[in-house]
Amino acid sequence: MSILFTFFRSSASFRVRIALNLKQIPYQPEIISLPNGEQVGGTFLAQNPQGLVPLYVDANGSFSQSLAIMEYLDEALPSAHRLLPSDAVGRARVRSLSMLIACEIHPLNNLRVLKYLKHELKQDEEGVNNWYRHWVAEGLQTLERQLIHDKHQSAYLHGETPTMADCCLVPQIFNAKRYECDLTTYPKLMKVFENCMKLHAFDQAQPNKQPDAA
């Protein structure tokens, strides 16, 4: 069985958990505790020199970076639920939405960035939270704006079935809720979020349903 190195609160891991569930690929979770620094501990670092979760391991190899993992899963198992559309234009759009979340919002609010703000730049809790909320608001506003008048957006970020972009959106909304970001100004995103959370694949991947949930 394949293995997913994961942490319950890791939103990048959450993306891959959703993708695995959508594609109905069974996997064994291996917990890497981020607060305990296990991501940069010797054992895990030897497996993933990037020192980040998720890491996905199957019979073909070891795969890091959540977007690359989801694309790999889609190519390796094309007969299961498609995470990317069949047309080139649709794939470009889904990748663009996914990257807006995974490359423009998430890295600014990653654990090591927040730790640096706190310990090296001596920001107090309020300072760190303000930073967090600022970048979430800027990113989600951009995403909401992009969806207005976009004919491709429907029940999900792209069309009538969830794609890789939805796998990125839902964990980002969970993070935003955890940091008490104001989400009332993103009605389109929140509708997509609600639609996704009605699906078993999304529901079962959420942080508090993971074995390492506190």
Ligand X SMILES: N[C@@H](CCC(=O)N[C@@H](CS)C(=O)NCC(=O)O)C(=O)O
Q: Which residues bind ligand X (CB under 6 A)?
A: 10-12, 34, 39, 52-54, 65-67, 102, 110-112
Question: How many angstroms separate the CA atoms of 119 and 136, rounded?
Answer: 21
Q: 121 and 130 in contact (C-beta within 8 Å)?
A: no
Asked if residue 162 has a cis previous peptide bond (ω within 30° of 0), the answer is no
Among residues 4 and 12, whose Cβ is nearest to ligand X? 12
What is the smallest separation between the CB atom of 207 and ligand X, expressed in angstroms?
Answer: 11
Asked if residue 205 lies in contact with residue 14, where contact means CB atoms within 8 angstroms, the answer is yes
**Residue 111: CB minimum distance to ligand X, A:** 4
Smallest distance from the beta carbon of 38 to ligand X, in angstroms?
10
- Residue number with CB closer to ligand X (17 or 158): 17
The CA-based dihedral angle spanning residues 158, 161, 166, 170, taken in that order and rounded to the nearest 10 degrees: 130
Select 99 or 147, whichever has its Cβ closest to ligand X: 99
Residue 206 Cβ vs ligand X, minimum distance, rounded to whole Å:
14
Q: In terms of CB distance, is 34 or 192 closer to ligand X?
A: 34
Least distance from ligand X to the Cβ atom of residue 41, Å: 11
Give start and end residues of each alpha helix (H) in 100-124. Answer: 111-119
- For ligand X, the closer of residues 39 and 195 by Cβ is 39
| CA-closest candidate to residue 201, choices 172, 161, 173 | 161
- Polymer length in residues for the chain: 214
68 CB-contact burial (10 Å; exposed 0-12 / middle 13-18 / buried 19+): exposed
The minimum distance between CB 149 and ligand X, in angstroms, equals 29
Q: What are phi and psi of 16, to 5 degrees?
A: -70, -35
Closer CB to ligand X, residue 157 or residue 164? Answer: 164
173's torsion region: left (phi>0), alpha (psi -120 to 50) or beta?
A: alpha
